[in-house]
Amino acid sequence: MFEFIVSYYNYWMYIGLMMIGFYAMMAKRNLVKKIIGMNIFQSAIIFFYISTSVKKGATVPILENAHGHATHGIEHGANAINVMQYANPLPHVLMLTAIVVMVATLGVALAVVILIYRRYGTLEEDEIMKLVRRG
């Protein structure tokens, strides 16, 4: 059992990060702390996807022919492509897009928090709800 836990230590770290982020989003009453928790949660998911797409001993999937030009398409016969020696770039590209979305979400969330603070003078969720109910 201990060997299983140790051999998958990176997954346990991601689970820990996800739980820290989830706890911050659910339990904290300060809006900035909730946003930080959301970013920790998103980062843990991105780390998880990147780590699962790593392939030991793999190289980038750029093929060159004898003249040094990149080739496109599948070669037949003795020069067939062995796809197992190349890393799949799709998960990395998707996570790069997720990072851009995460940064954009952070920017919008912080802008909304600034507007809330200007209007209500606090970032505590309970106090904001009391002020909203009073009108």
- 77 in a domain, yes or no? no
The whole-angstrom separation of Cα 76 and Cα 61 is: 17
Domain enclosing residue 48, as ranges: 2-55+84-134
Statement: residue 65 has pLDDT above 70: no
- 69 in a domain, yes or no? no
- 61 in a domain, yes or no? no
Indicate the number of domains in the chain.
1
135 is written with which tokens?
A: 């009108």
CATH number where 14 lies: 1.10.287.3510
- 72 in a domain, yes or no? no
Distances (CA, A) of 39 to 27, 34, 45, 98: 15, 9, 10, 12
The whole-angstrom separation of Cα 113 and Cα 133 is: 19
Q: pTM (2 decimals)?
A: 0.79
10 is written with which tokens?
A: 């990176």
68 is written with which tokens?
A: 């040094």
- 65 in a domain, yes or no? no
Statement: residue 118 has pLDDT above 60: yes
- 79 in a domain, yes or no? no
| Range with lowest mean pLDDT among 28-42, 65-79, 119-133 | 65-79
DSSP letters, 72-94, are: -S---GGG---GGGB---HHHHH
- 70 in a domain, yes or no? no
- 63 in a domain, yes or no? no
> CB of 44 within 8 A of CB of 10?
no
